[in-house]
Amino acid sequence: MDSTGSLLVSGVWFLRNIIGVIIKPYETYRRIVDHGRLGELFYIGILLAGYFALASLVKEASFRPFLLTRQFVALSTTAAVSFFLASTTIWLVGRLVGGTGSWQRITLAWGYTMMPTLIWFLATSLLYVLLPPPRTTGVLGIAFSIVYLVFSVTLFFWKIVLSYLTIRFGLRLDAKKIAIVAGITVPLFVVYSIAMYRFGVFRVPFL
Protein backbone atom coordinates (compact mmCIF):
# COMPACT_ATOMS: atom_id res chain seq x y z
CA MET A 1 0.00 0.00 0.00
CA ASP A 2 1.35 3.47 -0.90
CA SER A 3 1.62 6.31 1.62
CA THR A 4 -1.65 7.99 0.49
CA GLY A 5 -3.57 4.75 0.86
CA SER A 6 -1.98 4.12 4.22
CA LEU A 7 -2.94 7.60 5.37
CA LEU A 8 -6.53 7.08 4.20
CA VAL A 9 -6.75 3.79 6.10
CA SER A 10 -5.35 5.56 9.18
CA GLY A 11 -8.08 8.20 8.71
CA VAL A 12 -10.81 5.57 8.79
CA TRP A 13 -9.25 3.99 11.90
CA PHE A 14 -8.99 7.43 13.47
CA LEU A 15 -12.72 8.16 12.97
CA ARG A 16 -13.62 4.71 14.30
CA ASN A 17 -11.41 5.16 17.36
CA ILE A 18 -12.69 8.68 18.10
CA ILE A 19 -16.24 7.34 18.33
CA GLY A 20 -14.92 4.36 20.28
CA VAL A 21 -13.14 6.39 22.98
CA ILE A 22 -16.42 8.22 23.60
CA ILE A 23 -18.69 5.17 23.74
CA LYS A 24 -16.46 2.20 24.62
CA PRO A 25 -13.12 3.55 25.92
CA TYR A 26 -11.88 0.25 27.37
CA GLU A 27 -12.41 -1.89 24.28
CA THR A 28 -11.26 0.89 21.95
CA TYR A 29 -8.01 1.45 23.83
CA ARG A 30 -7.23 -2.23 23.62
CA ARG A 31 -7.73 -1.99 19.85
CA ILE A 32 -5.69 1.22 19.55
CA VAL A 33 -2.72 -0.30 21.35
CA ASP A 34 -2.87 -3.68 19.59
CA HIS A 35 -3.79 -2.65 16.04
CA GLY A 36 -3.38 1.15 15.86
CA ARG A 37 -1.29 2.91 13.22
CA LEU A 38 1.04 5.83 13.85
CA GLY A 39 -0.62 7.56 10.86
CA GLU A 40 -3.60 8.25 13.15
CA LEU A 41 -1.42 10.81 14.94
CA PHE A 42 -1.45 12.84 11.71
CA TYR A 43 -5.20 13.45 12.08
CA ILE A 44 -4.86 14.29 15.77
CA GLY A 45 -2.14 16.77 14.73
CA ILE A 46 -4.45 18.35 12.13
CA LEU A 47 -7.21 18.83 14.72
CA LEU A 48 -4.75 20.38 17.16
CA ALA A 49 -3.30 22.66 14.47
CA GLY A 50 -6.86 23.82 13.65
CA TYR A 51 -7.40 24.66 17.29
CA PHE A 52 -4.08 26.54 17.58
CA ALA A 53 -4.99 28.63 14.52
CA LEU A 54 -8.27 29.59 16.22
CA ALA A 55 -6.59 30.17 19.60
CA SER A 56 -4.01 32.46 17.96
CA LEU A 57 -6.84 34.60 16.57
CA VAL A 58 -8.58 34.77 19.95
CA LYS A 59 -5.36 35.49 21.87
CA GLU A 60 -4.01 38.15 19.52
CA ALA A 61 -7.44 39.66 18.77
CA SER A 62 -6.02 41.26 15.62
CA PHE A 63 -5.43 40.24 12.00
CA ARG A 64 -1.70 40.99 11.90
CA PRO A 65 -0.10 38.05 10.06
CA PHE A 66 3.28 38.25 11.80
CA LEU A 67 1.82 38.20 15.31
CA LEU A 68 -0.69 35.49 14.41
CA THR A 69 2.02 33.29 12.85
CA ARG A 70 4.32 33.81 15.84
CA GLN A 71 1.51 32.89 18.24
CA PHE A 72 0.55 29.84 16.17
CA VAL A 73 4.15 28.60 15.97
CA ALA A 74 4.67 29.15 19.72
CA LEU A 75 1.48 27.26 20.64
CA SER A 76 1.92 24.35 18.25
CA THR A 77 5.64 23.87 18.95
CA THR A 78 5.10 23.93 22.71
CA ALA A 79 2.17 21.53 22.45
CA ALA A 80 4.14 19.13 20.21
CA VAL A 81 7.15 19.19 22.56
CA SER A 82 4.84 18.70 25.58
CA PHE A 83 3.11 15.79 23.87
CA PHE A 84 6.30 13.89 23.05
CA LEU A 85 7.88 14.72 26.41
CA ALA A 86 4.80 13.42 28.23
CA SER A 87 4.52 10.19 26.25
CA THR A 88 8.27 9.52 26.49
CA THR A 89 8.29 10.20 30.25
CA ILE A 90 5.36 7.82 30.78
CA TRP A 91 7.08 5.18 28.64
CA LEU A 92 10.44 5.52 30.44
CA VAL A 93 8.92 5.46 33.93
CA GLY A 94 6.64 2.59 32.91
CA ARG A 95 9.63 0.58 31.67
CA LEU A 96 11.42 1.26 34.96
CA VAL A 97 8.58 -0.32 36.95
CA GLY A 98 8.38 -3.36 34.66
CA GLY A 99 6.18 -2.29 31.74
CA THR A 100 6.59 -4.09 28.43
CA GLY A 101 5.05 -1.80 25.81
CA SER A 102 6.77 0.02 22.98
CA TRP A 103 7.19 3.78 22.68
CA GLN A 104 5.03 3.83 19.51
CA ARG A 105 2.12 2.17 21.29
CA ILE A 106 2.27 4.59 24.21
CA THR A 107 2.59 7.61 21.92
CA LEU A 108 -0.41 6.59 19.83
CA ALA A 109 -2.54 5.83 22.90
CA TRP A 110 -1.47 9.12 24.53
CA GLY A 111 -2.48 10.88 21.30
CA TYR A 112 -6.11 9.97 21.90
CA THR A 113 -5.95 11.42 25.43
CA MET A 114 -5.51 14.79 23.70
CA MET A 115 -9.21 14.68 22.72
CA PRO A 116 -10.58 15.82 26.13
CA THR A 117 -7.82 18.46 26.26
CA LEU A 118 -8.68 19.69 22.78
CA ILE A 119 -12.43 19.80 23.48
CA TRP A 120 -11.89 21.74 26.74
CA PHE A 121 -9.52 24.27 25.18
CA LEU A 122 -11.75 24.71 22.13
CA ALA A 123 -14.87 25.26 24.25
CA THR A 124 -13.00 27.63 26.58
CA SER A 125 -11.65 29.68 23.66
CA LEU A 126 -15.10 29.96 22.07
CA LEU A 127 -16.72 30.86 25.39
CA TYR A 128 -14.01 33.48 25.91
CA VAL A 129 -15.35 35.20 22.78
CA LEU A 130 -19.06 34.57 23.38
CA LEU A 131 -19.16 35.17 27.15
CA PRO A 132 -15.92 36.92 28.07
CA PRO A 133 -14.78 36.78 31.72
CA PRO A 134 -15.03 37.95 34.50
CA ARG A 135 -18.11 36.12 35.75
CA THR A 136 -20.50 37.97 37.99
CA THR A 137 -21.75 36.67 41.34
CA GLY A 138 -25.39 37.05 40.21
CA VAL A 139 -27.71 34.12 39.54
CA LEU A 140 -26.75 33.85 35.86
CA GLY A 141 -23.02 34.09 36.64
CA ILE A 142 -23.24 31.34 39.26
CA ALA A 143 -25.43 29.15 37.01
CA PHE A 144 -22.94 29.48 34.14
CA SER A 145 -20.05 28.79 36.53
CA ILE A 146 -21.68 25.58 37.77
CA VAL A 147 -22.37 24.33 34.24
CA TYR A 148 -18.85 25.25 33.07
CA LEU A 149 -17.24 23.53 36.07
CA VAL A 150 -19.35 20.37 35.57
CA PHE A 151 -18.24 20.34 31.92
CA SER A 152 -14.58 20.86 32.93
CA VAL A 153 -14.58 18.21 35.69
CA THR A 154 -16.31 15.67 33.40
CA LEU A 155 -13.66 16.16 30.71
CA PHE A 156 -10.94 15.97 33.36
CA PHE A 157 -12.27 12.58 34.53
CA TRP A 158 -12.44 11.41 30.92
CA LYS A 159 -8.81 12.45 30.52
CA ILE A 160 -7.89 10.46 33.66
CA VAL A 161 -9.73 7.38 32.35
CA LEU A 162 -7.97 7.58 28.96
CA SER A 163 -4.57 8.20 30.59
CA TYR A 164 -5.11 5.18 32.85
CA LEU A 165 -6.00 3.02 29.83
CA THR A 166 -2.90 4.29 28.00
CA ILE A 167 -0.67 2.97 30.77
CA ARG A 168 -2.75 -0.17 31.39
CA PHE A 169 -2.76 -1.37 27.78
CA GLY A 170 0.33 0.43 26.48
CA LEU A 171 2.65 -0.88 29.18
CA ARG A 172 0.67 -3.92 30.40
CA LEU A 173 0.81 -2.81 34.03
CA ASP A 174 -1.48 -3.58 36.98
CA ALA A 175 -3.19 -0.92 39.09
CA LYS A 176 -0.44 -0.72 41.74
CA LYS A 177 2.27 -0.09 39.16
CA ILE A 178 0.03 2.38 37.32
CA ALA A 179 -0.27 4.28 40.62
CA ILE A 180 3.54 4.30 40.91
CA VAL A 181 3.90 5.60 37.33
CA ALA A 182 1.31 8.31 38.06
CA GLY A 183 3.05 9.17 41.35
CA ILE A 184 6.32 9.81 39.51
CA THR A 185 5.05 11.43 36.30
CA VAL A 186 2.33 13.76 37.69
CA PRO A 187 4.80 15.85 39.81
CA LEU A 188 7.07 16.11 36.74
CA PHE A 189 4.11 17.34 34.67
CA VAL A 190 3.25 19.87 37.39
CA VAL A 191 6.80 21.30 37.31
CA TYR A 192 6.67 21.42 33.49
CA SER A 193 3.24 23.14 33.60
CA ILE A 194 4.56 25.78 36.01
CA ALA A 195 7.45 26.43 33.60
CA MET A 196 4.96 26.81 30.71
CA TYR A 197 2.95 29.24 32.85
CA ARG A 198 6.08 31.28 33.63
CA PHE A 199 6.94 31.42 29.91
CA GLY A 200 3.40 32.66 29.26
CA VAL A 201 2.55 29.94 26.71
CA PHE A 202 -0.27 28.04 28.44
CA ARG A 203 -1.85 29.06 31.75
CA VAL A 204 -3.66 25.72 31.93
CA PRO A 205 -1.26 22.96 30.79
CA PHE A 206 -1.98 21.59 27.31
CA LEU A 207 -1.19 17.98 28.16
Partner 1 sequence: MKLSFRGQAEESQGDPSLITRDDVKTMRDVTYKKFVRRWEEVMDLPPQTLGPFTKPYKKLTRRLKVMPWPWLILVSILIVVGLYVLVGSAITFLVTLLQRGF
Interface with partner 1 (CB under 8 A): 23-27, 30, 34, 55, 58-59, 121, 124-125, 127-128, 132-137, 141-142, 144-146, 148-154, 157-158, 161, 168-169, 172-176, 202-204
151 vs 189, beta carbon nearer partner 1: 151
The DSSP-derived string for the chain is --HHHHHHHHHHHHHHHHHHHHH-HHHHHHHHHHH--TTHHHHHHHHHHHHHHHHHHHHH-S--HHHHHHHHHHHHHHHHHHHHHHHHHHHHHHHHTT----HHHHHHHHHHTHHHHHHHHHHHHHHHHHSPSPPPSSHHHHHHHHHHHHHHHHHHHHHHHHHHHHHHHHHT--HHHHHHHHHHHHHHHHHHHHHHHHHTS-SS---
How far apart are CB 8 and partner 1 at their closest, in Å? 26
8 vs 129, beta carbon nearer partner 1: 129
How far apart are CB 164 and partner 1 at their closest, in Å? 9
How far apart are CB 162 and partner 1 at their closest, in Å? 10
51 vs 110, beta carbon nearer partner 1: 51
How far apart are CB 152 and partner 1 at their closest, in Å? 6
